[in-house]
Structure 1
Amino acid sequence: MEMKSDFFCPPPCVYLSGDGWKNDFEQDNLCTMIGIGEPLYHNDNGSPSANITQSSEMQHLPFESGKRFGAAKTLFISDSDKRKHINLNIKMMYTNDFRDNPYIGMFESRKIKVISKPSKKKQSVKNAESVCIQSGSKIALFNRLRSQNVSTRFLHVNEGKNDFEASSSEWGSFCIHLVDNEEPCTESNSFSVKEGFVQYGSTVKLVCSVTNQTLPQLVIRKVDKNRVLLDSDEPVSQLHKCAFEFKSGPASPSSLVYLCLTGERIIGIAGKPCPNERFRVDINDSACWTIISTDKAEYTWFEGRGPVTHPITPVPVARHIVVDGGGAAATIELTGENFAPGLSVWFGETESPCTDYRSTQTIVAEVPQFSSVMPNMPWVQRPISTPISLVRRDGIVYLTSLVFTYTPQPAPPRKASSSPETILPATSENNFCE
């Protein structure tokens, strides 16, 4: 995130999704605060660290009228704060009197790298890791006419109209993919991607991370003082000014068209070749975009037994799954953060026979037999995937992004008295539940 005059750009946003918020949101029963701080849950027991942002340092986060999102447009970082990385902390609570505990919890963002200005150093692939843009990563694009903060507009996809727009209130997160320069230019959403760092002169596709809407193939170009540098091929860096040239086959500087905004509309505008400089094209302010990486922290939960008396946070997050063993001895190891004693692992609607808490980063669970997960299917006839969830003792269900897959096996002989079950080839025996 950029900080211009100490303010964040694009502004941090909070989105609420799911029907569980409907009544509270419509009745204005939610209060949300945001502040800058350190990571909240450092300790091995999952308890908050001593560096939690205090409520006195936090500011109210208003939600847009009629919408379930709020942007922290006035959030800033002090000039005296020399940290290279920060976290944003979100405090949420109910404002009605119908709950025993109105405090929902304190949620934290991913780690944010503080970048106050673009690097003037010419980048190379060797030093690109920390500041340059990788293919497949997520970015935001904003335009600032005449360098005035009040004129800032963000590239965004309007879900209602299903179209790209330049928004002053909401910004979009886009996956930027490298595309082979020789790939035919088509309007299809199907395309082959390449790995590596994005360099100027590369062909890219921008895909909205929410709607999957795409723009046509574009060539990303470096911009210096409203002048496109057609011969630049250095890696694209954070906060660089760039232009996006529509790719429609062979072109000359006199026929180049660039992604541009006019009001809230996104259009194409022709560049103006420089008379005495072959590889330079002049463009309007409205076709100059600033590029910056983005990220998100997503938390999903469900109050399975109704309202609870304890905060939802810290939310356990499982990021990776490793399968060990096979048959009746199969287990999975989940690694992540904010695990706590008392959590149980569920495979779809079936609870693991035994969940073993190892640390705040590791949980091991026994894989239930396939017949208990799918009682109407006597054996695994095709790959069957079940979502992995973590359930707290008071009934809070935390959905993860992980799945476990039961693999197929041949049908058992008719005379068999029981149906054998193969989950995965055994690599070791691990009977940790007694």
Structure 2
Amino acid sequence: MAALLPVGARFWTAAAVVVVALWSSGAPALVYPVYEQDWGLTPAVITGIFAVYPVVLVVVLVIFGGISDYIGRRLTMLAGLGSIALGVLIFAIAPDAAWLFIGRIFQGIGVGLALSPAGAALVEYSRSVSRASSVNTLATAVGLTIATVLGGALVQYAPWPRELTFWVLLAVTVALAAAVYFLPRNDRSAAPGARWRPRPIRVPRALRGVVTAASLGAATSFAVGAVLISLGAQLIKDVLHTDNALVAGVVLAISAMVGGVVSIAARRLAPRTAVASGAITGAFAIALLVVSANLSSLLLFIVTSVIFGASYGMLFLGSLGLINRYAQPDHRAGTLSVVYLVAYLGQGTVAIGLGLLATALGLAPALSIVCPVLIGLALAAAAAAIFFGRPRREAPSADALSAASSIGR
């Protein structure tokens, strides 16, 4: 039998899976203009390619959300990384737009399979729930930052702007899969003898309020992120009059980078406090976003990105913290899947809706319609965290379960 990774390396390997999943999700963003120029793609085709990803990911989460609780974290992460690698390879060799749809389908399958078990593994390999939540949030920020900054640099200054970013990501994904292979094999959390079958994800009754608060918090962060990316690309083009992909990537990475810093600084906040604070901050950032769009002010957009980054860091940290603290091991991955499911539904709905409205009415009028809805979502997340951010009957926390297990040994 192959030697297993040391405990510390297992934790960071699981974090790297989150990084690669988010890197994969954002990798095509800065290559889309190259496809548009080289292949003459219309905005409708680009929007369709974008929309395929969250749709597929949501389907995977609905059907396979809790599968790692039954077959193990390691095997599920390997399956996810394999699908991500296949999707990235298809992007690297794609001769036309039809291949991009296929590649995006495999990326959606891979990320849908990999994210929840990686998040659950972070808790199981960690000494603390707060550390696992903080590192998970940081890993999402790092993945998005790599996708935009490294992707922008490769597109702008390296050869093969359509392909190289995907070859680099493919190499990293394969190397990471090799590390995941050496994680523990017996890492399922369902009861002995329990078998997986396709069925709706079940959330224990006592945790439904907690999961609602966590899901609304994550959905707010993902939905506003989708708007920022859409608006950011347009502002960079209109205000700076530049098509420089690296400049675009750095500007788009601001909120992710700030979110990563805040996730470390705020790791000792109670999860419900983090969600409520992040949601209220996010509502302010959304209002500021409308002003920056109407003024076409890049400086104001950057300020908005910084404020939203702080909001994102607290929202996602608190959302993960709620699940990691209260969900018991035998349904932790499935419960995390519910949070990701709602988050990606929100992201996909907002991105597609904003795109359709912007095409029909223009960007500023579209934001005037979408942003009040997002402010309502943010305030709902804050209210849910305040009123429902604890289980009905106090469930044993992951830290308490770990301590009890240690005493038993």
TM class, shorter-chain normalised? under 0.3
Larger RCO (CA within 8 A; separation ≥ 6): 2
> Which structure has greater helix proportion?
2
* Pair member with larger Rg: 1
> Which structure has greater strand proportion?
1
Structure 2 length as normaliser, TM-score?
0.24
Structure 1 length as normaliser, TM-score?
0.23
